[in-house]
Structure 1
């Protein structure tokens, strides 16, 4: 899905932008730096319709299993999230994840099964649950309509910046809002997001359609980003819909209201996806690969993912090396039936655009011009397969010396 023209306004407040939502972020002691919050809460004044998608890694964090159980009935009123510890591969993991829900639910005066839970951080270390339990009263008192920034900061690990985005748009005469926060810098690779993302909206929508919208939009956003090829264990995207905007509830998939909601959700998740790719561990450049001219959507997606995941392509972009042969190589091993002799590849940035490959062979290259294009912070790799009308976009980043340094020292 690519939204060509969708009337909307970018607004502030992230997960607090939509009606009925509060957020908070506090330091509970999981992280050594006392100036960094490490425990977040997103809370709704009312019970919400809820949806989620999860990592496809066979190894899953304990919070995912607890959240999945709580969403058998697809409603929720809050989400508690900690950073600094993934609560994964621990014998008491699910017990502690459930205790996180129970502890904050008691403070909020709601049922524990209406709380969702997520964790991010190092794998295989026991979660100091007492630190979280002790912090729950403070977490509740810090809830506010301006708590989104602290919540966005509290979920970060190796990220260098908070990731927020929100918008408003007209839905058949009613102003509605969608906002989100996310985290992700390393262990980012297609196949369910490899990150955490929490989205709130005041749109009134049936739970089954909310789940469908989230799944469909995730396929074209978070599942189209790659930093390092590692699919993480704790990845989850959740959406809470309060319905407080007052629009007639969306109940039909083929309705204009559902299509408008789908476009709004896509824009929010697309911008959060780009922020994650741009903030890849050690990254200096955002890479966007747009593939057109494919016979089928799946082929366009496969080619875009193949290019954006290639370590050789990513290294060349870091070195500002116009080595288009690496791009063509990545196209060539992508799954799908297409003819290389029809392929065109352009490289572009704010400094211009140049064709590097035409009909599967070398174009008339001007190395100095190409090198200048690759000095930009955002590089566009544009591929035309020349065989159809299907298209897809993927996002990634360059591969730098700092990526190795960050991950060599991560445990210590």
Structure 2
């Protein structure tokens, strides 16, 4: 069961003017499930994206980068689940191109105006014939208030659809922000998440979109991990339809730019944290907060060392305050000149270790009390400077092994 996470009701997901979603059951891997989604954009939308830094990236990631580089004006996106079209070589590229061509024909667009996305099993041929056959049904279903169904249609091993919305005021105009994401395993995004799509009707110049997508990912999806694996298909797309009635945002450092970025970052963090809460087999949601570092980079090194440690994660699953495992992870994080005599460790408000050793006032029952909670904060103070950073993760349970052992069954 996910950790304190329920799907947002469809009525609470605000339509974004200029964006329509269409959903279909194409039978890509399994029958009778939503597995094909089409996102349609009105002309004039601004689009930015970030993708996996895994060098073994999937065919759709390669094509998305190519199409965005052509600057033809993105008008549609095509998303399938059940098949990642990764590790498929030239044949995978041909099949992804064929899917773009099929949608372009339906919409009277050029294929370069389509962005394809895939998620699912790796090293299996993409059934692009089934995708093409499902397009008419998806297009017939296209409407602005279809975000909840879209969130379901991009799921793989997720147990809860992940979607959030908000509204703010920019320049006296109401602006809507809505986003969806998917992911539950193979998560240590080295850019973003498995798949994420966020749209706003705010007016943002195309020249800012790559920067906006990168900053949003860096503050949210790049701060979560479930199992330390970076997917071949990670993609995060940000759309501004430019339909709200306010002066265009031409700088993210302007007052309107800061307000918009903050509101979109809030949604991005909710989406990213939802992925962790729905991590495969997760029973605990953990915030790893590292402070007192010389740089943010070394704080992240320590946070990820803790968050990736199987020994730490299994101890949290067992509610066992075997906290020397955390200190060991701090020690091997890669800070060569780390002084262990300056390190403090907290579980929530419980001081566990002081100056590198067990705190005299620490009692095992206090640690166990915290470890039994479904949400826990691990705070490490390095005593080296003023930098800090935070990573969100989950525990590692029996079910994680079961889910991944049976994934292709």
1:199 Cα offset (Å): 1.0
Runs of 4 or more, structure 1, over 6 Å off, are: 10-15
Aligned counterparts, 1:7-406, within 5 A: 17-34=15-32, 36-74=33-71, 75-90=73-88, 91-336=90-335, 337-348=337-348, 353-363=349-359, 364-406=361-403
Contact kept, 8 Å, 2:14 with 2:176, in 1: the verdict is: no
Contact kept, 8 Å, 1:62 with 1:88, in 2: the verdict is: yes
Contact kept, 8 Å, 1:188 with 1:226, in 2: the verdict is: yes
CA distance, structure 2, for counterparts of residue 58 and residue 408 of structure 1: 25
- Higher alpha-carbon deviation: 66-75 or 333-342: 333-342
1:200 Cα offset (Å): 0.8
CA distance, structure 1, for counterparts of residue 165 and residue 291 of structure 2: 28
Q: Aligned residue for 1:3? A: none
- Higher alpha-carbon deviation: 204-213 or 227-236: 204-213
- Higher alpha-carbon deviation: 318-327 or 25-34: 25-34
Contact kept, 8 Å, 1:346 with 1:354, in 2: the verdict is: yes
- Higher alpha-carbon deviation: 294-303 or 78-87: 294-303
- Higher alpha-carbon deviation: 190-199 or 10-19: 10-19
Cα deviations by residue, 1:291-332 (Å, 9 ceiling, x for unpaired): 222222112222222211111111110010111111111111
Contact kept, 8 Å, 1:288 with 1:379, in 2: the verdict is: yes
Change (3 A) 1:145 1:286: same
Change (3 A) 1:299 1:206: same
Equivalent position SS for 1:17: coil
CA distance, structure 2, for counterparts of residue 12 and residue 246 of structure 1: 25
Q: Mind listing any 5+ residue stretches in structure 2 that lack a counterpart?
A: 1-7
CA distance, structure 2, for counterparts of residue 170 and residue 312 of structure 1: 46
Equivalent position SS for 1:261: helix
1:60 Cα offset (Å): 0.9
Equivalent position SS for 1:47: coil
TM norm structure 2: 0.92
Change (3 A) 1:144 1:156: same
Contact kept, 8 Å, 1:163 with 1:181, in 2: the verdict is: yes
Contact kept, 8 Å, 1:187 with 1:194, in 2: the verdict is: no
Change (3 A) 1:223 1:378: same
Contact kept, 8 Å, 2:171 with 2:247, in 1: the verdict is: no
- Higher alpha-carbon deviation: 135-144 or 214-223: 214-223
Equivalent position SS for 2:215: helix
1:271 Cα offset (Å): 0.8
- Higher alpha-carbon deviation: 216-225 or 57-66: 216-225
Cα deviations by residue, 1:3-43 (Å, 9 ceiling, x for unpaired): xxxxxxx9966886322211122210113241x20001222
For the aligned residues, what is the CA RMSD? 1.9
1:257 Cα offset (Å): 1.8
- Higher alpha-carbon deviation: 237-246 or 333-342: 333-342
Equivalent position SS for 1:50: strand
CA distance, structure 1, for counterparts of residue 249 and residue 10 of structure 2: 25
CA distance, structure 1, for counterparts of residue 9 and residue 17 of structure 2: 13
Equivalent position SS for 1:118: strand
1:104 Cα offset (Å): 2.0
CA distance, structure 2, for counterparts of residue 192 and residue 146 of structure 1: 29
TM norm structure 1: 0.92
